[in-house]
A and B are shown apart, each in its own frame.
Chain A
Amino acid sequence: MRRITLILLACLVLLSGCRREQITPTAEPQRELDVLHPEQLSYYAERINVDFSPIAILPEGNEVLLVGSRESRRMNPDTRKISSAPFLGTNVAAASEREGNVYCLCSDEDGVFVNQNGELIFRYGLEFADVRSFYDGETGIYTLLAAPTRLYRNEQEIDLPEYGNRLIDPVGFWKLNGTEYLAASGCTEGTTFDDWRPESLLLFPLQEDGLGEPVEISGFSLEMRMLSSDGEFGYFLSGSELYQTDGHGLAWLGNLTGLGIDTARVHCIVPISGARILVSHGNTLTMLCPGEEEKDAAVRIAVWPDWIPDYGYWTAAYLAEHPDVNVEVKAYEDLSDLNLAILSGEADVLFLGSAEQAKTYAVRDILAPMDGILDKERYLYGVLKAGSVDGCLYMMPLNFRLYGMCLPDAVVEAYDYHFENYTELQNCLDEIKGPAHPGRVKEQALGAFLSHGLDAWVDWEKSTADFSSPDFIWILEYCNQGYADTEEYLANTGSTGQHLFLYSKTAYSPYDLLLDYQYEDPRGSRQASTAYGMKGALIPSPGTSHEGLAIQTNFVVSLTANGENRLAAAEFVAWLLSDSAQGAYLNVARLDNSGYSPNRKVTDRLLSNTLTVESEDFVDSARQLLNDADHYGTLTVTDAFLAIIQEEAMGYFSGDCTAEQCAERIQNRVSIYMAEQG
């Protein structure tokens, strides 16, 4: 008996040692606030209407000071009462509070002013166009500028810190547990050109003699999006997940997307009394309160991959209009996990970063057709065609960009603005004056070609591919004339390459369709077409099953066939594509320059509003281009298919084989992929 008791005790000791590390945030608040938030606490969200966008929230006793770019307000979080606050300056870029003083960094054309309790003090003679963060601390006044990233201490520029072979992407200044840090994402190089992926959070202590050795905080998924933080209590948002760190440990506090927070546009997060958290995002202020709320219906959204942008905006916007609906969002990194979630009925709506994956699901009858819930007359013809499989609509983009080839109008006119095959494109490129040079790093050039879509070489219906065709071999050879690497590219951009016309052009906004700023000048600026005396034309790539330009989008929306909340999900999707939701998004998208709406009415309004100075003919042709875009170019996700092409092409670019051998190898491997689908 004694032995058994001993064994049980030993087991208990072992089990207690296996518990996940719990942290007790030791960052002592400077105010009388209860900031200790238990892990995975349930929250419900309360939206607070403010008529401006608070970029910083500074607690002041029982109230908080909401600091905007040009104005500020005081708010009592308990009564939600908003009152006036002193003017803190124009173009406020960042704000912080220390020992009762409010510091605001305000930029104008000549320099930067620091507002110290209402008194504007000119601090630096630098042109701070993009202040990311500043910290007026005990070890100096640190300022961090974004684009290009520069770091200053007491007006002196200092080197960005180094850590192994990581690329350091500074986020801002955090004060944790009494220690001041420069917080940064440590990024590692990916497999493709200019592909840096954030791996871990690094905290470099600010010291009298510069930056000290960093503390690495890992064990969580660091998203591509910039971290948002309160800067003082260790709360930070990575993607849609809220965490807290004390500079050593880490606690996960939950996913904020389902709470109606546009996680891509969060300005700041601040803990306040009563274990509540204030989040400023977009033009909205949301207070997260502990507890749970009863809701009438539920829509469960599965997002894949987990880093696709803007899904937070859509759920936040939907929740703002439908507070009675419970929206659950789960982002999946791994496709197998998503597959299991779909099969087990855990997902009602899919936000998929790959149209090909949506097609695969549609073919397997895993998706529900959307024909019954959408009035097709209201949407662009090409978008409907691109999203249909066997005559049924299975996917829709919520916004999209146009992708095509920008070539001289005078030259492509002879081809009636349409290439039958790549031989015609080859002839066209030969006709263009200037060096026949891809003007890019080799693999980047190939990626640009592949982004048009693959239907010039792939017959999806018959599940066959022909990558050993002369057309594809020509593309390989053409791309092989490009620069070997980034260094060579940067070394030559100043002197070589008159690549005025490109085989890849993304039109983000109606202005892009004007083709005024069409040509990427290698000297660093963009020149109007008139500078070269030639007008450009945006035309589709050669392909067998498409006639229009390619649709580029970050994700497509689909409905699952076996979701448990199909009615609510259908209403959600119908709302996403409605005139009002698309119209509202247009305002945000126009700011971000990120595309057009699939909704015909909204797109018409966009064209007529932005192209007012243009002729009716031009607006008509722009409308025609949008309506005719009828296939998805390869999206942001590099799937197995593209990986094969890129992997083999690398062998050719590095001189391991000839273009013919490379094409043969691609064909060999791709044919298996195609046969599997058949």
Chain B
Amino acid sequence: MKHTYRTSVKRNTFLFLTPSLLGVLVFYLGPLVVIFYYALVSRPVGGSFVGLQNFKAILQNRAFLLAAKNTAILCACAVPLAVLLSMGMAILLDREIPGKSPIRTALLSPIMVPVASVVLIFQVLFHQNGVINAFLTGYGLNPIDFFHSPWSRIMILLLYLWKNLGYNMILFVAGLSSVPKDLLEMAELEGASGWRKFVSIKLPYLGPTVLFVTVLSFISAMKIFREVYLLTGAYPYESLYLLQHFMNNTFQSMDYQKLSVAAILMALAVSILIGCLFYAEKRIGKDVEYT
């Protein structure tokens, strides 16, 4: 009887899982196999096995290297800034300050603005004949060519932060609420400084939130391609050329070998990075006891 029940549970479990498993198989594992196949053959139709030749070729491809460099620079600047600034704002809003609620709402509002509108606003602001340059020339300063100079990266960084800070901040506010109040009161009684309380109590408790926000910020940084694409098209200036541009363009030109190899290398890099983050979080948060 027990055996029959277990068998029935197993069978039902399998039945309920089947649709999801099929989805994973068709939409994730299948394409993954195809990507690995494309990465190892000479051409998409009737190609011959070429080993790691495609990997070697892409590592010598200037466009891929440029895209990888730009994406790395963007992530290296944007992710820490997004984490630190949103954490700072969350700590600020955690205190009793006037206008707390309107500020929080204002910081969250960019999430609700559609991408096309954001891009339009940034075009109006940063165009050669845009608002900012009109302001600068009004004060006798030289206009800045935002789209065709090193300023372009800063412009994209600003756009990214403006769009993502609010959501990250909310996550940190939620994280801060999980810090035990009695620990903070104890530290207060023993005369710990604000910095000490932050480093020794709040930060360890915020570990999982930091990890989560970092991963989310990283994903958002990868997705900034959408805004860059709308602002500058498929072939932007060198400083704004990202990995997704490379992959999008190689897809359009049916260069599936390059596309597959780039996707594999990117997935590998992202996996390593996220693995490192998990490891760091485990190490930092090992002494924290959650209630």
Which residues of A are interface residues toward B (Cβ below 8 A)?
Answer: 335-336, 339, 342-343, 360-361, 364-366, 561-562, 640, 643-644, 647, 651, 656-657, 661, 665, 668-673, 675-678
Contacts and interface: CB of A to CB of B under 8 A. Distances in A.
B43 to A, nearest CB: 4
Contacts of A657: 128, 145
Interface in B230-251: 233-238, 241, 245-246, 249-251
Interface in B184-238: 233-238
Nearest to A670: B235
Given A364-B255, A670-B235, A676-B253, 6 more contacts: A366-B44, A668-B238, A669-B235, A672-B66, A672-B241, A678-B62
A678 B148 CA distance: 24
A365 B254 CA distance: 11
Nearest to A340: B254
B101 interface: no
B254 A360 contact: yes
Contacts, number: 79
B252 interface: yes
B153 to A, nearest CB: 14
Contacts of B8: none
Contact of B238 (A339, A640, A643, A672): A672
Interface residues of B, number: 31
Interface in B97-144: 128-129
Contacts of A675: 61-63, 66
B19 interface: no
Given A335-B252, A675-B62, A364 B43 contact: yes
Nearest to A463: B62
15 contacts: A335-B252, A336-B252, A364-B44, A365-B47, A561-B46, A562-B46, A640-B235, A643-B233, A647-B233, A656-B128, A673-B235, A673-B249, A676-B61, A676-B253, A677-B253
Interface string B127-169: 0110000000000000001001000000000000000000000
Contacts of B1: none
A644 B235 contact: yes
B63 A678 contact: yes
A335 B249 CA distance: 12
B45 interface: yes
Contacts of B128: 651, 656-657
Contacts of A365: 42-43, 45-47
A364 B254 contact: yes
A121 B43 CA distance: 70
A412 to B, nearest CB: 36
A312 B254 CA distance: 27
B56 to A, nearest CB: 13
Contacts of A335: 252
A640 B234 CA distance: 8
A343 B45 contact: yes
A672 B42 contact: no
A343 B44 contact: yes
**Which of A339, A656, A669, A672 is the most central at the interface, judged by chain B CB atoms within 10 Å of its CB?**
A672
A562 B45 CA distance: 7
Contacts of A360: 253-254
A621 B83 CA distance: 73
B45 A366 contact: yes
A671 B238 contact: yes
A642 to B, nearest CB: 11
